Amino acid sequence: MELQECKPIVEMKNIVKVYLDGTVALRGVDFDVCPGEVHALLGENGAGKTTLMKILAGVLKPTSGEIVLEGKHVRFSSSADALSKGIGMVHQHPALVPVFTAYENIVLGAYRPGARAEIEKLMEETGLKVPLDAPVESLPLGIQQKVEILKMLYRRVKVLILDEPTTNLSPLETRELFRVLRSLRSRGAAIVFISHKLREVLEVADRITVLRKGVKVGTVSAEEATPTLLAKMMVGREVEMVVSKPRVALGEELLVVRDLWVRSDLGTWAVKGVSFSVRAGEIFGIAGVEGNGQKELVEAISGLRRAEKGKIVIGGIDVTNKHPLEVYAAGLAHIPEDRQRYGLVLEMTVAENAILGVQRSPRFQQPPIMKIKWSEVFSHAREIIKNFNVQVPGLTAKAKTLSGGNQQKLVVGRELTKKPRVLLAVNPTRGLDVAATEYIQNLLASLKEKGIAILLVSSNLDEVLQLSDRVAVIYEGEFMGVARPEELTEELLGLMMGGYSLDKAREVLSRKTT
């Protein structure tokens, strides 16, 4: 399906990226973009889209491969270097100084006399209207993005890269952005549009390149692309890890969430009226591209973030807006998304980390001065290490000396040893090697037999599909639908993660077959 009708302004050839920790992000990817086109880069989380573009924008250095800009081989020393050579990237989190005004952000480091008039002219020509004198933090993300684009245009970039630009935009803002992109295209700009949203890609792109797990799946023209084709290219799976999924008779509802509304740190609604329940012996999976409200949902359930509206019940006890310790006491265990930041105190020992969160339990301390009963702590730690097969240099070694997999096993072991009724697991296998991943996944599956209700939040589709009894897809703080994994084809999932409700997605697919 290769097609080549235009003359690329920049070409990336055989790009390989290996991170310092050994993760291979890109395995020899080719990419190019032409003046006057919008080239979409499509793929799931972790497919390598952002890494590839960060290399083009000089933020990351490729392990190998070359970049040819306007016929010349180039090597960027920094993003500022790439920017000065005409390649600019608008990141997912805007690289703007929040307290600065739009104008200040645009001219930062590149002030020239007459800047203001120049920017006003640019706004006029492109239709990128922003209030120049408002601090950007007071502006909606859609406007902030326009500021970023203006910043790039003011610096006269030839290649403009946009990383998931519509993630935090309303449909109206998205439409506005697309209008601007088309206008820029007509002025001869080369635009790269990174996205996982099929609909949008189909709407705005001229060409579409799909990446999966660091490999380029193919490039198709907008005319030949269909949602079904793209979803399949994007999600299509290789060898599957086999996890035995025991069939368990479901028990009572142990976790009930009703009409939950939660705000993000920015004060916008991150979770918009989500309702679900998880029963004893069931794994309820929440799939979705990251940043669609998962973090806020999880924090609200565990008492770490205010629920503005709605109700959370664990094992029959109303825990809405209760202190985390009360929530844990009601029977919740929490495997947090970032073990190093939230799950462990890296500078403390393995034994000390083994009691984090249960340090006040009578088993581990003795009144009146709450002396820590080390023999109990050590035997508890030893128990975790043995039961969960954690490889440690010793109980008094600092947690930071463990490998990522063993750190995670320590956290998982600690949480499960609390004998929870409800387990909240967030991306439990992120960054783990195959063996550790398999171990954790099998462990979660086996917990069903113990009558634990598990809420699995993961951006890893394979994981969610293989482990869950029911799967919800979350998109912009709302469930697009709940279904059994067998019902969910790759195409359906791809569509739902891209913002189609389950019924809508079914309709699209049935239209295609008939």
Interface residues with another protein (CB under 8 A) are 16, 18, 20, 22, 24, 59, 63-64, 78-80, 83-84, 95-100, 104, 107-111, 151, 155, 302, 304, 323-325, 328, 334, 336, 341-348, 352, 356-357, 359-360, 364-365, 369-372, 374, 393-394, 396-398, 401
Our CB check for another protein shows the closer of 181 and 402 to be 402
Smaller CB distance to another protein: residue 16 or 202?
A: 16
| Torsion sign over Cα 509, 276, 414, 389 | negative
Task: Give the residue with the Cβ less far from another protein, 146 or 151.
Answer: 151
Min CB(148)–another protein separation in Å? 10
CB of 271 to another protein, least distance (A): 19
Quick one: 401 or 489, whose CB is closer to another protein?
401
**CB-wise, 104 or 253, nearer to another protein?**
104
The nearer residue to another protein, 99 or 435, going by C-beta atoms, is 99
Distance CA 309, CA 257 (A): 11
When the beta carbons of 64 and 138 are compared against another protein, the nearer one is: 64
Q: What's the closest the beta carbon of residue 391 comes to another protein, in angstroms?
A: 12
Q: Cβ of residue 78: shortest distance to another protein, in angstroms?
A: 7
Which conformational region is residue 86 in: left (phi greater than 0), alpha (psi within -120 to 50 degrees), or beta? left
Question: Nearest approach, Cβ of 58 to another protein (angstroms)?
Answer: 9
Give the number of other CB atoms < 10 A from CB of residue 208.
25
185/178 Cα distance (integer angstroms):
10
Nearer to another protein, 336 or 481 (CB): 336
Residues 138 and 100 sit within 8 Å (Cβ to Cβ):
no
Q: Cβ 95 to another protein, closest distance in Å?
A: 4
Is-contact 491 307, C-beta < 8 A?
A: no
User: What is the enclosing helix (H) or strand (E) of 275?
Assistant: strand 269-279
Closest distance to another protein from the beta carbon of 298 (Å):
11
Residue 3 or 397 with smaller CB distance to another protein: 397
- C-beta of residue 296 within 8 angstroms of C-beta of residue 474: no
Integer Cα distance of 300 and 257 in angstroms: 10
How far apart are CB 62 and another protein at their closest, in Å? 10
Q: How far is the CB of 362 from another protein (least distance, A)?
A: 11
Q: Are strands 37-42 and 207-212 parallel, antiparallel or unpaired?
A: parallel
Coil, helix or strand at residue 512: helix
Which residue, 341 or 511, is less far from another protein as judged by CB? 341
Sequence-separated (6 or more) residues with CB below 8 Å from residue 505: 480, 481, 491, 492, 495, 496
Q: How far apart are CA 238 and CA 95, in angstroms?
A: 36
Residue whose CB is less far from another protein, 178 or 378: 378
Closest separation between CB of residue 343 and another protein, Å? 7
> Which string of DSSP letters, residue by residue, matches 201-269?
HHHH-SEEEEEETTEEEEEEETTT--HHHHHHHHH---SPPP---------SEEEEEEEEEEE-TTSSE
* Angle, CA of 486, 492 and 497, to the nearest 5°: 115
- Residue 190: DSSP 8-state: E
Tokens describing residue 493: 């999932």
* Cβ nearer to another protein, comparing 96 with 225: 96
Q: What are the Cα distances from residue 221, in Å, to 194, 236, 244, 466?
A: 16, 19, 41, 33
CB of 41 to another protein, least distance (A): 20
Using DSSP, state whether 2 is helix, strand or coil.
coil
Of 5, 478, 84, whose CA–CA distance to 272 is shortest?
478
Smallest separation (angstroms) from another protein to the CB of 243: 28
* Edge-to-edge order in the sheet of strand 24-33: 24-33, 10-18, 64-69, 72-74
